[in-house]
Amino acid sequence: MNDIEEESSDLKSRLLGAKKEKQFGVVDVVFIVLIAVILCCSLVQRYWLSPVEIYGRSMNRTIDDGDWLLMNKFAEPTYGDVVIIEISGETNYIKRVIGMEGDALYMQDGVVYRKKAGETAFTALDEPYAYYSRGKKDMNMPVVIVKEGCIFFLGDNRCDSRDSRQIGAKSVNDVLGVVPEWIIENRKSITSYYTAVLKVDNFILSLFNPAACGGRNTR
């Protein structure tokens, strides 16, 4: 009788042990998957789509102050693209590509005229994204020729933007990335996500170093 009770006890112990091993295995899998997801997100952000936080009003009403976006580091900029540009000695800029190398451009009463390289006549640009908070009148720019390997860029908020009108065209190599149109269309959802992530980061940071808690200056 004692032998039977001992065997029954051993069987229960083995079953409980197997159950614990199985539970531990599930936790292992979940942990590995979580690490893999975090690693993939980190690789995507580091090598493909990087987050940027926008400061300023130069792209109103396309993009607002405080919006978070993702820029594609590998895309080649072309006409109409919204790009992040590295400006030496200043903060990075977010602007729209208006001219490429060899193009001639001028502005009259807020309307941009462009003659692409190889063309013979200027054409007025259709720019539904352009915003003139103080009107177009007397907003003029003389003819400029975009140098080889450069891009000419403007902010969509034409009355409140520091761009190629003041600092000239810049090398295409200064472009850090292109912001895809679908990112701009979904910027509010992206902003909500990164705002939440930043709050969590600041909370965790405050637990270890309260003095270092603050915003992330990604531009």
Report which DSSP code applies to 136: S
pLDDT of residue 212: 44
**Its pTM surpasses 0.85:** no
Give the C-alpha separation, 100 to 172, whole Å.
9
Confidence check: pLDDT of 75 > 90: yes
Give the C-alpha separation, 5 to 87, whole Å.
81
Q: How many CB atoms lie within 10 A of CB 69?
A: 26
3-state DSSP assignment of residue 85:
strand
Q: Are 70 and 50 in contact (CB under 8 A)?
A: yes
| Percent residues over pLDDT 70 in the chain | 69
Give the C-alpha separation, 131 to 67, whole Å.
18
